[in-house]
Amino acid sequence: MSDQAWTSLRLVAWTQEFFARKGVDAPRLTAELLLAHALRCDRVRLYLDFDKPLGGAELGAFRDLVRRRADGEPTAYLTGRREFFGRAFRVDPRVLVPRPETEVVAEAALAALPEEGRALDLCTGSGVLAVTLALGRRARLVATDLSPGALEIARENARSLGAEITFLEGDLDGPVAPGERFDLLVSNPPYVPSGEIEGLSREVRREPRLALDGGPDGLALIRRIVALAPSRLAAGGTLVLEMHETHRETLPRLCREAGFARAEARADLAGLPRLVVATMAGGPPGA
């Protein structure tokens, strides 16, 4: 880049072309997000001040972001935030970057959770599911994670967005009080088969392996969640799990074998199998 007369409009255009050559997804949007972050403004401001030249410090900060993104660092880690369900969440390399497709998991969980019910979120990560549920229902939320770093991020997101959630550190439901039951158990657990990890994009491989690797068939942790769920759910309670597309038939069967009365796989907006919804017996007629 030249240091002369670099305006916002010119920088976005140049960076879009550069990112396209480098194979970066959504090159123009990424350029806008990084420039807005460097200038500490929103994307609209970039175009309101499109002909204003940038100073040397601003250009230097932007150059560094562009270099790091071209090297495979996820945009969300560079900006420190990611939108989910219309809210801005803090993220960093300690947590998985929330995906738009996980919003269908949140929608299914909201539909299953009574207005003043109780929900348990396992493998909460950045807390996007727990926070979305807490703000969408007057419910009691408990969320667990094995990673202290992830819980730090989740607690910060809950505080900043005004969600009341009890966060507990530990393995799945291990830190939850014995005998405590919930109307909903939700989780976006690690479900990528181990053999597929190295074939993921370099951006995804920068995310915590603990949050990605689901073992040889991707079901290592999911099997444990399905097995413990009946002892944690109230009569008529619901399990909502995000899953790998190859688990479309296997996971509903595992749920039925574990004692769930009903279990079905559902697709995301792209038509790919994305989640399973399983319900315990004992709910209202027709539930």
Q: What is the pLDDT of residues 121-164, one digit of tens each?
A: 999 999 999 999 999 999 999 999 999 999 999 999 999 999 99
- Under a CB-based contact definition with an 8 Å cutoff, are residues 216 and 193 in contact? yes
Measured CA to CA, the distance from residue 86 to residue 90 in angstroms comes to: 13
- Candidates 90, 122, 114; CA nearest to 190 is 122
- Candidates 188, 211, 218, 213; CA nearest to 128 is 188
Measured CA to CA, the distance from residue 150 to residue 11 in angstroms comes to: 34
Q: What is the pLDDT of residues 212-242, one digit of tens each?
A: 999 999 999 999 999 999 999 999 999 999 9
Strand partners, 186: 121, 240
Long-range contacts of 251-257 (CB under 8 A, 24+ apart): 251/219, 251/222, 251/226, 251/276, 252/276, 252/278, 254/219, 254/222, 254/223, 254/226, 255/226
Structure tokens belonging to residue 123: 């493998």
Give the DSSP letter string of 239-252. EEEE--GGGTTHHH
71-85, 86-100, 272-286: segment of lowest average pLDDT: 272-286
Confidence check: pLDDT of 4 > 70: no
Backbone CA torsion sign across 67, 68, 72, 75? negative
198 Cβ neighbours under 8 A, 6+ residues apart? 205
- Candidates 45, 60, 46, 41; CA nearest to 16 is 46
